[in-house]
Structure 1
Amino acid sequence: MAQIAAVAVDKATPQFDREYSYLVPDGLPVQVGCRVTVPFGRGNRRRLGLVLSLSESEDTARLKKIASLVDRQPLIGEEQLGLMRWLREHTFCSWFDAVRVLIPAGLGMDLEDQFLAEPGAELPADAPRGAEKLLEAIRAGRGKTPEQLAEETGEKDLHRLLRYLMECGAVRSEINDRRRVLDERVTMVRPAPDFEPRKPLTKKQELVLAVLEEFGSVSVKELCYYSGVTRIVVENLRKAGAVELYEQVVYRDPYAGRDEEPQAEPILLTDAQQAAYDTILAGDPGKPALLYGVTGSGKTQVFLRLIDQTLAEGRRAVVMVPEISLTPQVIERFRSRYGSRTAVLHSSLTMGQRTDEWRRVRDGGADIIIGTRSAVFAPVENLGLIVIDEEQERTYQSESSPRFRTAEVARVRCRYHGARLLLCSATPSVESYHAARTGRYTLARLTERYSGQLPDVTIVDTTRTERVGEIFSEPLCAELLKNLEMGQQSILLLNRRGYHTVMKCSSCGEAVTCPNCSVAMTYHRQNGRLMCHYCGHTQEVPAVCPHCGSSLVRFSGIGTQKAEEELQRLFPQARILRMDVDTTMSRFAYEEKFGDFAAGKYDIMVGTQMVSKGLNFPQVTLVGVLGTDMSLYSDDFRSFERTFSLLTQVVGRSGRFDLPGRAFIETAQPHNPVFALASAQDYEAFYREEILFRKVNLYPPFCSLLTVQFTSVSEADSHAGARLFARLFTRLAQAEYADLPIRMLGPAGDTLYRVAGKYRCHLILKCRDDRRMRELTRRVLEQFYAQAPAGVQAIPDLD
């Protein structure tokens, strides 16, 4: 009997993304969860694959053989394979899209074509132009990639000529597999056994051997430092046979040099916090728990106690935060309490650091894992608790394939491990709170602030209030000045980065838009250029209107850069800190800037939504909110919910400790109930209004939404694809799934109808998320890709 491997193949198009059977060569130690390379397709091009299962069979006549084994030990375990299958079913992703969220990018493999010349090969007299030159370039190396050959020869028809050279036997192609990030290695030194010197050693050499006798084995760098010698001394000792050099893999610690001695002081809970803690522990562990508490009520204290309980049981915990900007304070708190038992997984780390942290987690070197959305896939064994802080944030929803909801993945993992899932928020998502109110989640509440008082909130009507300068109202400016005089700190939220948000022509009224996207470009003062915040395109500021040629082009709209400049003009004595994507690109920028603000080195912090949640600064007694009106009227049915959450969270940054807090919300719509409810921090009243709206209009939690987006470089093709999908879906649903409750809206164009050079439109299906609905969708997708215009992509997103 021969061994057969079921293999998922990378870069398979949607209609060919399935399991393929391959013959395992004799003696190749293939295991489930290992990556392999396999010949794929008619051309037998080598592709990366993942072994999903193994079986035995005698019928092997038509099977291709696995070409090589990439991993000696499985990279994907039993639980991760189950997660991959769950992701494929629930998010309609490809096999390898699922693989990519389970392992760090640093462990990814690149398969690289290399071309080598056959010895003695000659080209026929009628060889195409450029073939001889290309062959000579290949002969000049030990294997060259197409990129290298294109650069060396400048040949525009490179791939046709390479095919010709291979067909006539002049060159051959080989695949070189290369890991994206290699292990970090250092050269180590140890004493050689049984060394007997043939001639007297120098004083420096004796000093080196004395250090080695004390430490046993050290790196060359450390040895030179401790003994005060140069590397030449060590090298001469190696030549004399006195020491041995060898390579050792080292761990890339993202917080090297920042460690502190852990201070695990007992956590003292208030009566209200203790009651919430007891409610969570008494609840069904198989059911998620929601910890709802007003801002500043001490939710973190409750889940820290739960983590202590989990560790005491010998189990491990994952704690997630919605944004990288929140991780510095969280990491500092956890590392000061738990020390090296804490691991960190987020995108600000280098690729090598993320890879090493992932391995440390997999190998059991950390008991608490902290990170953003991707941390939900951390390879944790013996998992006892997952905490999702600020669970309502949209950053917990992936916007690229696989389009998963973090809480749903966490539920699957907790079910597998018998672990507890805790969702925390001062403004829970309407869906989560509804689940808690109807008994599907355990509900624990914290209704009072730890300090006992909420900030006083003033709603400023910008249509009736004088401004000081271009941006700030008189009342807010007066309060900023008062805080400066009292030596207290202020936070200002302006959720738009850049200097000016639009450049517009006064003659024709058109804005300067990105050539790749249907969006106005933002002016950035730092580099004096216009930038697209969707595709990253930048360009110089035009002297005339690109649409009509008029010179009457003007800037308008306010971003964080302009606000910073205006604050500096109004309050020259103030120390201003700006926090947005542009100021936090460097490593540890969040830690350093938030740390400086906490230490009192700045008076006013102005920033985007990264300053609005999860931050605790004792000296902050004033919060100002600017320009939130536009968020109320996006085309998302959750726009009121998101605005309410943002306002509630940022207002809650003020007066969190002993000092009383104030907040000022500037708006042109002061009578909109969202502002009054957020000012009062009255989530219950907001929920009652919002759940009624959802029920009447049939939105989640009363249905699920399947949004299918269609993209193409051709606007006509994207719309044709949408119409085709709608026809196929309607036909199959009526024929075989008539019992399913489905309501179709669209197709319609997206508000941003073009992004990164691709046109977009969509349709929405109000439905029930169950096995048959997902089966129907997958079948329609298969039919769609068999009939759709070339280049049209269908992107389903089931909410």
Structure 2
Amino acid sequence: MKIAKVVIDGATSQFDKQYSYLLPHALTDICQAGMRVLVPFGRSNLKKQGFVMETQEVDNADGLKSVISIFDKSPILNDEMIKLCNWMRNQTFCTYFDAIHSIIPAGIGMKLVETLSVNKDYPIDTLLENEKAVCIYVKAKGSIKYDNLIKSLNLSDDTLISSLVDKGALIRENDAVQKIGDATMKVAHLEASIDELGSLSITAKQSLVTDYLSGAGDTSVKEIMYYTGVSPSVIETLCKNRIISLYEKEVFRLPHSFSENGERNDVNLTNSQQKAFCELKEKLGKEGGACSLLYGVTGSGKTQVFLKLVDTVIDSGKGVIIMVPEISLTPQTLSLFGKRYGKRVAVFHSAMSQGQRMDEWKRVKNGQAVVAIGTRSAVFAPIKNLGLIVIDEEQEHTYKSESSPRFHARNIAKFRVNYHNALLLLASATPSMESYYNALNGKYSLHKLTERFGNAQLPDVSTVDMKSEIFSGNSGCISRRLADEIDIVLNNKKQAILLLNRRGYNTYISCPVCGYVATCPNCSISLTYHNANKRMMCHYCGYSEPVSKKCPECSSDHLRFYGMGTQKVEDELNMLFPKARVLRLDADSTMSRDSFSSYLGRFSNGEYDIMLGTQMVAKGLNFPNVTLVGVIGADQAMFSEDYRSYERTFSLLTQVVGRAGRGDFEGKAIIQTTSPDSNIIHLAVRQDYDAFYSDEILTRKMMVYPPFCDIAVLSVSSTVREVALDTINKIFDNIKELIENEFTDVKLHILGPSAASVPKINLRYRFRIIIKCRFNARFREMIKKAMNIKRKGDVSLNIDVNPESVI
């Protein structure tokens, strides 16, 4: 007999394991690993969705429950993805289904819909009048969804329905349906032969349809009506007379419109690009996979190297994944590769509809698309024969997931290239400290592009001391030097990009009389004033309130607005340059789907003169007409408590400065700072990554931070502060006891327990322990035991390994 090892959807971490189910004889030859099944679960035998992780032949299956049904005709997960699920569960402390939900698109998932029908054998006449009325209503419908029944009868609760189910008058069943249906179109097929058509008595309009089908073959009804001008009734009559037949054909909801195969133009490489390409080409197909770092200054033409590598991989019959850190970079990359490879390109990012993401996933899975482009989720694209993964701007924090499973796309990519004997290519002008360290120490191969591509030159970079600006009477956001340069750009019909990594109008509101600061009632954070809606808003939980004219503490009329955000700078730009067309790009101005790509397209077409934005404008974008970049508040992130603050500041400044002078015109960059003597600012001005790395790596080594250790942040939250604090202390005590006894070989350094840097978010109190460690099997075993405690109330517990920020 055969059993299936099944993981259950919705299982909490305490119940997350593989359960054995007997496969009925009728399902024995059908069921395969990677399929979805319906199984009874728990003491009440609730019907639950599960995934089959493997099947086994056994001699004895006594006491096992049986699989009820199988949802799929073929496996949703292949062998690679099943192994990846197991690996993610072990590495990120997530559940099986957390991993599965990150691998497959949400739309393809199944949902259980509860339906009710009348038991034909039950004597309805014996029921009470209100019960009888319900059964008559359900009987008239045949069957009805539970939610629809409650709504239709305007019932306040399910007491009446449950009573009828308990009595046996109503039958309650769970039916599995796909969350997002397949997109289909109605297609016409000509049933009559050419000879038969000559003898048929049909109208002139009907002849238009049959003639069209004779020449074109099976065609959608919509297309037939468009080209022949006939009405739906003409087609219905032909179908009724069996001259044609209609059937449903699945179509894909494409988020792009490319030609079938694209057009592959020659890619001309410089000597340094050719050298890098040849070296990287040798890494393709290496046993066990390979990892390489392509380090090139901004504008050095890393993309041209990508194109040549992708050509090589596709010509060998393999597939490619190209990853970008932000949705904003997707249209630019998609356009480049789409023109080259046509409909063989698929795209993945969160701004797409669920139906589009599901269809793109299907196209990749069935081999219609062999190049997958997108943000973090693209790393799971189901390419069967993977040859290359490119992670562009690999240092970006967006490649790390902040919710379970808390994976880094780079680690998923390493797993996949190892499985496929493929190449992982990391690319950046400012690589992460860990990646550059690995490259210098031989773990990755290192390839450099030290000069800009073509005639482009690195921009001339200078700083402005904002303290001096203030002392000289300029209290605005824009320095006189930057204003002068913007004026020159506008007069020359060129464009400028300005970076301020803080949205809103003012960063906080305070009363100078009593010291009151407007804070969020749900979070331990000050409210940010937004001029567009005249409200103070919390950027953590979304809470907002109108601005008070008086201080709520002392009733003073002297509330002051401090700090600056993109909205305030936008107002100042409009005042200084009333004829300039200013585009503000931040999370507030790009809420609607596709708005970001639309704005970028309009800026590229010259519809705007100045683009002002947060970090989303800082990297990867290529606008040849941009000759000026201005950085406002360059040192905002530099004084953060996070150990990556210097790295993040240097990278952001270097990247945004690199947006200037990428065409045939010289570029300039101006960095406004209150710390002009800072070494980080000096290095960013010189665009000297190697010098920055040399300084920073010494600090990391001395302080024992990555890459010289791993960091695990264990976090606890609860709506009750005492519960959260008690839980974190229990875990801390468990860790101390375990490393003093059973795990003496596990070396670590513990910081905490302590309150999180923002102690309360959305009414949940937060505490954490930061552990410097080696994230090996022994540490994972120890930490799982330490976290195995009885939880009280609504306490939430998670662990994040090597997070992008420890704040």
User: TM-score normalised by the shorter chain: which range applies?
Assistant: over 0.9
Deviation at 1:84, TM superposition (A): 0.5
Deviation at 1:665, TM superposition (A): 0.9
Alignment check: 8 A CA contact 1:137 1:153 kept: no
* Cα distance in 2 for residues equivalent to 1:403 and 1:122: 57
Deviation at 1:230, TM superposition (A): 1.6
Alignment of 1:141-540 (within 5 A): 142-145=142-145, 147-148=147-148, 151-152=151-152, 158=157, 162-194=161-193, 200-256=201-257, 259=259, 262-282=262-282, 285=286, 286-450=289-453, 451=455, 453-466=457-470, 470-540=476-546
3-state SS of 2:304 partner: helix
Alignment check: 8 A CA contact 1:512 1:545 kept: no
Instruction: Name the stretch that deviates more: 536-545 or 75-84.
Output: 536-545
AA of the residue aligned to 1:79: E
Instruction: Name the stretch that deviates more: 739-748 or 729-738.
Output: 729-738
3-state SS of 2:331 partner: helix
3-state SS of 1:47 partner: strand
Deviation at 1:338, TM superposition (A): 1.9
* Cα distance in 2 for residues equivalent to 1:529 and 1:206: 65
> Which residue pairs with 2:805 in the alignment?
none
> Which residue pairs with 1:747 in the alignment?
753
3-state SS of 2:706 partner: coil
Deviation at 1:139, TM superposition (A): 6.7
Deviation at 1:292, TM superposition (A): 0.8
Deviation at 1:6, TM superposition (A): 0.6
3-state SS of 2:636 partner: helix
Evaluate the alpha carbon distance shift between residue 483 and residue 768 of structure 1 in structure 2; reply closer, same or farther with a 3 A threshold. same
AA of the residue aligned to 1:41: G
Percent of matched pairs sharing the same residue: 44
Instruction: Name the stretch that deviates more: 405-414 or 198-207.
Output: 198-207
Alignment check: 8 A CA contact 2:6 2:53 kept: yes
Instruction: Name the stretch that deviates more: 191-200 or 8-17.
Output: 191-200
Alignment of 1:636-715 (within 5 A): 636-715=642-721
* Cα distance in 2 for residues equivalent to 1:240 and 1:280: 63
Alignment check: 8 A CA contact 1:293 1:446 kept: yes
Alignment check: 8 A CA contact 1:121 1:169 kept: no
Evaluate the alpha carbon distance shift between residue 558 and residue 27 of structure 1 in structure 2; reply closer, same or farther with a 3 A threshold. same
Alignment check: 8 A CA contact 1:493 1:607 kept: yes
Alignment check: 8 A CA contact 1:706 1:797 kept: yes
1:684-734 superposed Cα distances (whole Å, 9 cap, x missing partner): 111111111111111011110111111212122111111111112222232
Deviation at 1:525, TM superposition (A): 3.8
Q: What residue ranges of structure 2 are gaps of 5+ in the alignment?
A: 803-807
> Which residue pairs with 1:593 in the alignment?
599
Alignment check: 8 A CA contact 1:373 1:406 kept: yes
1:41 to 2:5 alignment: no
Alignment check: 8 A CA contact 1:709 1:760 kept: yes
3-state SS of 1:380 partner: coil
Alignment check: 8 A CA contact 2:7 2:17 kept: yes
3-state SS of 2:518 partner: coil
AA of the residue aligned to 1:272: S
Give the alignment's TM-score, normalised by structure 2.
Answer: 0.93
> Which residue pairs with 1:104 in the alignment?
105
Alignment of 1:505-654 (within 5 A): 505-542=511-548, 544-545=550-551, 552-654=558-660
Deviation at 1:506, TM superposition (A): 4.5
1:245-289 superposed Cα distances (whole Å, 9 cap, x missing partner): 221111111113x54983322222111222222333456944311
* Cα distance in 1 for residues equivalent to 2:545 and 2:44: 43
Deviation at 1:628, TM superposition (A): 3.2
* Cα distance in 1 for residues equivalent to 2:162 and 2:741: 48
Alignment check: 8 A CA contact 1:197 1:242 kept: no
1:46-98 superposed Cα distances (whole Å, 9 cap, x missing partner): 11100011112242221111122111210000000110011011001100001
Evaluate the alpha carbon distance shift between residue 418 and residue 152 of structure 1 in structure 2; reply closer, same or farther with a 3 A threshold. same
3-state SS of 1:53 partner: strand
AA of the residue aligned to 1:302: V
Evaluate the alpha carbon distance shift between residue 456 and residue 553 of structure 1 in structure 2; reply closer, same or farther with a 3 A threshold. same
> Which residue pairs with 1:724 in the alignment?
730
Evaluate the alpha carbon distance shift between residue 485 and residue 250 of structure 1 in structure 2; reply closer, same or farther with a 3 A threshold. same
* Cα distance in 2 for residues equivalent to 1:134 and 1:312: 64
Give the alignment's TM-score, normalised by structure 1.
Answer: 0.94
* Cα distance in 2 for residues equivalent to 1:789 and 1:587: 40
Instruction: Name the stretch that deviates more: 312-321 or 689-698.
Output: 312-321
Deviation at 1:9, TM superposition (A): 0.5
3-state SS of 1:306 partner: helix
Deviation at 1:196, TM superposition (A): 6.0
1:769 to 2:775 alignment: yes
* Cα distance in 1 for residues equivalent to 2:132 and 2:762: 39
Deviation at 1:137, TM superposition (A): 7.4
Deviation at 1:5, TM superposition (A): 0.7
* Cα distance in 2 for residues equivalent to 1:209 and 1:587: 42
Alignment of 1:47-86 (within 5 A): 47-86=48-87
Alignment check: 8 A CA contact 2:505 2:530 kept: yes
Alignment check: 8 A CA contact 2:507 2:564 kept: yes
3-state SS of 2:25 partner: coil
Alignment check: 8 A CA contact 2:490 2:580 kept: yes
AA of the residue aligned to 2:33: V
AA of the residue aligned to 2:360: E
* Cα distance in 2 for residues equivalent to 1:137 and 1:747: 59
1:359-397 superposed Cα distances (whole Å, 9 cap, x missing partner): 111111122111111111111111111111000000010
1:415-460 superposed Cα distances (whole Å, 9 cap, x missing partner): 1110011100110000111111111111111122224632111211
Deviation at 1:775, TM superposition (A): 1.8
Deviation at 1:331, TM superposition (A): 1.0
Alignment check: 8 A CA contact 1:315 1:383 kept: yes
* Cα distance in 1 for residues equivalent to 2:133 and 2:506: 53
* Cα distance in 2 for residues equivalent to 1:485 and 1:209: 63
Instruction: Name the stretch that deviates more: 542-551 or 524-533.
Output: 542-551
1:15 to 2:14 alignment: yes
* Cα distance in 1 for residues equivalent to 2:518 and 2:115: 45
1:577-630 superposed Cα distances (whole Å, 9 cap, x missing partner): 222223333443333322222222211111111110111111111000112322
* Cα distance in 2 for residues equivalent to 1:97 and 1:155: 35
1:285-313 superposed Cα distances (whole Å, 9 cap, x missing partner): 44311111111111111222221222222
* Cα distance in 1 for residues equivalent to 2:135 and 2:567: 55
Evaluate the alpha carbon distance shift between residue 196 and residue 652 of structure 1 in structure 2; reply closer, same or farther with a 3 A threshold. closer
3-state SS of 2:65 partner: coil
Deviation at 1:510, TM superposition (A): 3.4
Give the CA RMSD over aligned residues. 2.5
Instruction: Name the stretch that deviates more: 286-295 or 158-167.
Output: 158-167
Evaluate the alpha carbon distance shift between residue 388 and residue 495 of structure 1 in structure 2; reply closer, same or farther with a 3 A threshold. same
* Cα distance in 2 for residues equivalent to 1:523 and 1:124: 62
1:630-670 superposed Cα distances (whole Å, 9 cap, x missing partner): 21122321011001100000001111222111111111111
Alignment check: 8 A CA contact 2:106 2:354 kept: yes
